Amino acid sequence: MSGATGEYLFLADQDDVWLPGRLDMMLAALQQKAVVSTSVSILGDMGSRPTFLLRARDSERHVANIFAVVIGYRPYTGCAMAFRRDILNSVVPIPRFVYESHDLWLALVANTHRENVHLEAASVARRLHDANQTPLGWRGPRAIVRARWMKIKCLVVAMSRSRAYHAQARPKSSG
């Protein structure tokens, strides 16, 4: 992400399919907020209701979204996310202790910065297979506790970067 040169950065997985209209709808959303997250369909199941559904009405529910990320029930999916360059310094570097879920890191940054918008329409058809980084099944209690602890540490870093982001965006007084 640090090497990107464009104004908008779109995340993508090499084996997923971008759905028609993805760029237009996500670019329109990025005019309002610095991060956009969309719903996701499963490849081979196009035309049906998105499997990983985000609700537009939850876009401004930042505290609820943060809680949902930490607990693990809000479906932010990296391949269905994009962001503007102006938030890049808050996104990277990704903390060294993040061993999974860069997408949840980005969701925490977006929500702590109050810079996210959810689109209910799916923007990508995701290919699910045994080699996915995201686990397809339930994990054991130890793995769950470890992942939650990592997300709490991510939240602390994201909140710190949010203060810096908003301080930088605030106009300087001439007094």
Transcribe 124-135 into DSSP letters: EEE---TT-SS-
164 Cβ contact partners less than 8 Å away, ≥ 6 residues apart:
89, 90
Higher pLDDT, 171 or 157: 157
* pLDDT value of residue 66: 96
For range 116-145, the mean pLDDT: 77
pLDDT, tens digit, for every residue of 34-63? Answer: 999 999 988 765 555 567 789 999 999 999
The SS3 assignment for 36 reads strand
Handedness of CA 70, 101, 1, 24 (dihedral sign): negative
pLDDT of residue 170: 58
Alpha carbon distance, N-terminus to C-terminus of the chain: 38
Residue 94, pLDDT > 80, answer: yes
Within 10 A of 83 (CB to CB), how many other CB atoms are there?
A: 26
**Whole-prediction pTM:** 0.86
The residue among 114 and 2 whose pLDDT is bigger is 114
Q: Are 81 and 37 in contact (CB under 8 A)?
A: yes
Cis amide bond preceding 75, omega within 30? no
pLDDT for 153 equals 96
